């Protein structure tokens, strides 16, 4: 379930009058999603998505609007926000911050094929190329500093072996990153899992859910993608998907020497980032709503596989 605040047809019809989007026809709550209330809205002119923000830092919403609009202006397949007749995107509805988006086409891929992996790698490479010039600023809220500060909170729930594993890994990341200058920076999606993409066949119709968006190491975003898109059931890397994503990505943006050196560490660090965030949801800060949390062990398995086997060699750019 992902409608925490129900809306009536009349409320939405009145809300839409601020915008030049046509007349209200119908409203449907969207079942997917865990954080916000999402609705599909049909008017006599178009299909829209209405999001009510239920939690998180509302002060950061203007950053997300700027980022989405910037990427949309640069022709990335993201839902740029719909602005009202006065040019305002961010509104309030049912006492919650509200944004209206175009509804993008497609479905989330469960088992992405290689053409879909290439499309994702190519689009992420393009996104990172333009996002290096994005003027906004929001420090990555899930970076190494966060890992250092937060991992203490879950240690008590872990076996002695897992406690050692987590502490040693965080120390290792710290010394690996300390040896290098700052990596290439830009705006990141920050959570680019398969269920935040929409595909029509092999065409990437949209990247959604930018609410982990921030600015920081571009390599962080790429490592999140590889761990979710190119991991086998046992956590090991799927070589074909790995190569398809990374060669398409590098045809848009070649990794620097420092990024190549830190790549195996970044894969481990982003695996631990999700192991930890999922453990925090299960043990420390469970959601108020009755939702099944994501499985933390999935990312422990991925972390252990990266520790055992490292990364596969980085492919060259595809032509
Ligand atoms: N612009 C869009 N076009 C088409 N579908 C969309 C769009 N935005 C959201 N959706 C649909 O609504 C669902 C929930 O949206 P979203 O992922 O933003 O919610 P959320 O509550 O932030 O979820 P979570 O953080 O758990 O992924 C998506 O899985 C997708 O199916
Ligand atoms: N993609 C996240 C959930 C949304 O932030 C996870 O899989 O844990």
* Rounded mean pLDDT, 237-257: 98
Q: Which ligand is nearest to the CA of 295?
A: 2
Q: Which ligand is nearest to the CA of 37?
A: 1
- State in Å: Cα 33 to ligand 2 middle: 10
Closest CA to 265 of 179, 140, 151, 149: 179
Q: Which ligand is nearest to the CA of 296?
A: 2
Q: Is 87 left (phi over 0), alpha (psi -120 to 50) or beta?
A: left
* Rounded mean pLDDT, 11-32: 96
| Domains assigned to the chain | 9-102 (3.30.200.20), 114-309 (3.90.1200.10)
Question: Measuring from each residue's beta carbon to the nearest atom of ligand 2, which residues come in under 6 Å?
Answer: 191, 193, 274, 277-278, 294
Q: Give the pLDDT band (50/70/90) at residue 256.
A: very high
- How confident is the model at residue 55, as a pLDDT? 78
Atom number of ligand 1 nearest to Cα 33: 23
φ, ψ of residue 293 in degrees (nearest 5): -70, 155
Nearest CA to ligand 2 atom 7: 294
- State in Å: Cα 115 to ligand 2 middle: 24
Nearest CA to ligand 1 atom 29: 32
Is the four-CA dihedral 269, 274, 277, 280 of positive or negative sign? negative
- How confident is the model at residue 1, as a pLDDT? 47
* Rounded mean pLDDT, 71-87: 98
Mean pLDDT of the chain, nearest integer: 96
Q: Residue 263 and residue 244: Cα distance in Å, rounded?
A: 17
Q: Which helix (H) or strand (E) holds 27?
A: strand 24-29
Nearest CA to ligand 1 atom 1: 103
Q: Is 51 left (phi over 0), alpha (psi -120 to 50) or beta?
A: beta
Q: Please give the share of the chain, as a percent, with pLDDT higher than 90.
A: 91
Q: Virtual CA dihedral for 220, 225, 231, 236, nearest 10 degrees?
A: -20
pLDDT digits (tens, 9 = 90+) for 108-135: 999 999 999 999 999 999 999 999 999 9
Q: Does the C-beta of 32 come closer than 6 Å to ligand 1?
A: yes
pLDDT digits (tens, 9 = 90+) for 265-287: 999 999 999 999 999 999 998 87
pLDDT digits (tens, 9 = 90+) for 148-182: 999 999 999 999 999 999 999 999 999 999 999 99
Q: Which ligand is nearest to the CA of 34?
A: 1
Q: Does the C-beta of 242 come closer than 6 Å to ligand 1?
A: no
- State in Å: Cα 207 to ligand 2 middle: 15
Nearest CA to ligand 2 atom 4: 191
- How confident is the model at residue 290, as a pLDDT? 67
Nearest CA to ligand 1 atom 27: 33
Q: pTM of the full predicted structure? A: 0.96
């Amino acid at each position: 379930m992902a409608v925490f605040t129900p809306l009536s047809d009349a409320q939405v019809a009145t809300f839409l009058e601020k915008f030049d989007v046509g007349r209200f026809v119908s409203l449907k709550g969207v079942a997917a999603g865990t954080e916000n209330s999402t609705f599909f809205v049909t008017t006599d002119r178009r299909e829209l998505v209405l999001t009510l923000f239920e939690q998180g830092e509302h002060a950061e919403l203007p950053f997300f609007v700027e980022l989405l609009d910037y990427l949309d202006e640069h022709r990335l397949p993201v839902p740029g926000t719909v602005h009202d007749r006065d040019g305002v995107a961010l509104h309030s509805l049912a006492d919650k911050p509200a944004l209206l988006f175009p509804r993008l086409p497609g479905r989330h891929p469960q088992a992405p094929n290689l053409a879909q992996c290439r499309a994702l790698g190519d689009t992420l490479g393009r996104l990172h190329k333009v996002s290096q010039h994005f003027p906004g600023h929001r420090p990555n809220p899930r970076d190494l500093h966060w890992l250092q500060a937060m991992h203490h909170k879950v240690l008590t729930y872990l076996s002695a072996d897992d406690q050692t594993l987590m502490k040693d890994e965080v120390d290792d990341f710290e010394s690996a990153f300390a040896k290098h200058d700052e990596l290439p920076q830009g705006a990141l999606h920050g959570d680019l899992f398969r269920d935040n993409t929409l595909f029509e066949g092999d065409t990437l119709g949209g990247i959604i859910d930018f609410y982990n968006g921030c600015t920081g190491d571009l390599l962080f975003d790429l490592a999140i993608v590889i761990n979710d898109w190119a991991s086998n059931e046992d956590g090991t890397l799927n070589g074909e998907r790995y190569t398809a994503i990374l060669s398409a990505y590098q045809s848009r943006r070649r990794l620097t020497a420092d990024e190549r050196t830190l790549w195996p560490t970044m894969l481990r660090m982003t695996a631990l980032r999700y192991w930890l965030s999922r453990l925090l949801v299960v043990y420390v800060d469970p959601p108020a709503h009755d939702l099944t949390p994501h499985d933390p062990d999935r990312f422990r398995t991925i972390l252990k596989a990266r520790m055992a086997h490292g990364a596969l060699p980085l492919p060259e750019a595809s032509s």
